[in-house]
Amino acid sequence: MTSLVLDDVSALYPSGDGVTSISAEAKGGEITVLIGPNGSGKSTLLKAIAGLIDYDGSIRLNGVDLESMGRRSRAALFAVVDQIPSMNYPFSVTEVLAMGRLPHGRDEPRKNSTLRSVRRAAIAMDLSDLWDRPVTELSGGERQRVAIARAIVQDSPVMLMDEPSSALDPGHVSSLFSSLREMANRGHAVIVTVHDVNLAAMFADKVWLMDEGSLVRYGNPEDILSRERLSQVYGVDFRRYDGERGRSLWFFELD
């Protein structure tokens, strides 16, 4: 079972912003959701885990310190979806999805097994009608779905997704988290940042609550999501609504 352990991880920019002394664990088979206000360090932490920025402390995957791995080996272990996916060249959707296999080998995109994975991911993220479209002609939400599908095709042990639902409508948000649940059920460790607290309440197995570059608490959603804690971190008064299916949702009150 995949185990990603962070031990006293700090990653600071010259401005002094970043994250400090983060210790936590994300496991395969679970969706870990990071929440917290703007500037709390969620994106910085994902970049550190992915090896995109320098950090102090240790990050271990299945007991192996990631600093001991080469860049290519590390790239094959983490599928990353940026907050704003960069797609500046007019490759087709099909080609971009197939590129998800490149970290596993230069010949991977041309394999029949990759084409099957591309088709499944395209269906899962509602991209079948965009099959041959250049990604440079797509809307922001469509590009985001392409980036998510490419990460699914990559099929790495750890999936790191920074605000993957930010440009998606409710139907595609549902498709996204259904796909992430399927990946988790297959043993992947899924780590995703969101701004909507209710997405954490609905889909998370574990929640990491961040504020001012620190991890306030992490654990089960029902233990982390409380009126007092959310109101303090976000600076607005939250109220809980207990839904008909026994699921609690959170709403903040306007001044």
Residue 178 lies in a domain: yes
Instruction: Give Cα 9 to chain centroid, integer Å.
Output: 18
Residue 206 lies in a domain: yes
Yes or no: say if 123 and 81 are a contact pair by the CB < 8 Å rule. no
pLDDT at 16: 81
Matching residue, tokens 């885990």: 49
pLDDT at 255: 65
Yes or no: say if 161 and 81 are a contact pair by the CB < 8 Å rule. yes
CA-to-CA separations, 166 to 13, 18, 36, 227, in angstroms, rounded: 25, 22, 15, 24
pLDDT at 106: 86
Give CA–CA dist 9/21, Å, rounded. Answer: 5
Residue 149 lies in a domain: no
Q: What is the 3-state secondary structure (H, E, C) of the chain?
A: CCEEEEEEEEEECCCCCEEEEEEEEEECCCEEEEECCCCCCHHHHHHHHHCCCCCEEEEEECCEEHHHCCHHHHHHHEEEECCCCCCCCCCEHHHHHHHHHHHHCCCHHHCHHHHHHHHHHHHHCCCHHHCCCEHHHCCHHHHHHHHHHHHHHHCCCEEEEECCCCCCCHHHHHHHHHHHHHHHHCCCEEEEECCCHHHHHHHCCEEEEEECCEEEEEECHHHHCCHHHHHHHHCCCEEEEECCCCCEEEEECCC
Residue 218 lies in a domain: yes
Give CA–CA dist 173/76, Å, rounded. Answer: 26
Q: How many domains does the chain have?
A: 1
Question: pTM higher than 0.85 for the full model?
Answer: yes
Give CA–CA dist 130/126, Å, rounded. Answer: 9
In the beta sheet, which residues pair with residue 65? 60
CA-to-CA separations, 37 to 50, 57, 94, 163, 190, in angstroms, rounded: 21, 24, 36, 13, 21
Tens-binned pLDDT, residue by residue, of the chain (255 aa)? 799 999 999 999 888 889 999 999 999 999 999 999 999 999 999 999 999 999 999 999 999 999 998 888 888 999 999 988 888 889 999 999 999 998 888 888 888 888 899 999 999 999 999 989 999 999 999 999 999 999 999 999 999 999 999 989 999 999 999 999 999 999 999 999 999 999 999 999 999 999 999 999 999 998 999 999 999 999 999 988 887 666 778 888 776
Give CA–CA dist 155/139, Å, rounded. Answer: 25
Residue 122 lies in a domain: no
Q: Are strands 214-219 and 56-61 parallel, antiparallel or unpaired?
A: unpaired
Residue 50 lies in a domain: yes
Range of the domain at 37: 3-88+157-252
pLDDT at 201: 93
Residue 93 lies in a domain: no
Residue 150 lies in a domain: no
CATH number of the domain that 50 lies in? 3.40.50.300
Q: How close are the terminal C-alpha atoms of the chain, in Å?
A: 46
What count of residues does the chain have?
Answer: 255
Give CA–CA dist 62/178, Å, rounded. Answer: 26
